[in-house]
Amino acid sequence: MALVIHKLRSGLIYSQDFADYIESRHNIEHFGHPGEVLHLDYVRCSQGELAGQEWCQLNWLSGMHAATEHRHLIGDVEVYIPKQAVRGLKNRLLHFEGNEVVVKK
């Protein structure tokens, strides 16, 4: 099956599998997080034991702390993605395979 890719105006690239994961997680958890939005952050270690490793973190953030200009629709789900995370993910693909979010170059 072909990998379906999407691109946000911000330049963020993600697969349909990632969008499906976001939607599933949102549908399961959103009742416990009133007034909050999903917050996608990106970490890439440049030093220490984890140097060269990268990953995404997905948590909930108060809508009051999630600036509107950094909210994006991934599928039908609004996700807050800070500017530095978008910058760090440039030219990388967010994908969901197995049981985890992966960042592909």
For 8-44, what is each residue's pLDDT tens digit?
988 899 999 999 999 999 999 999 999 999 999 998 7
pTM over 0.75: yes
Residue boundaries of the structural domains of the chain: 8-104
Architecture in CATH for domain 8-104:
Sandwich (2.60)
Q: How far is CA 21 from CA 24, 26, 28, 46, 100, in A?
A: 5, 8, 11, 28, 9
Which parts of the chain fold into alpha helices (H)?
Answer: 16-29, 83-88
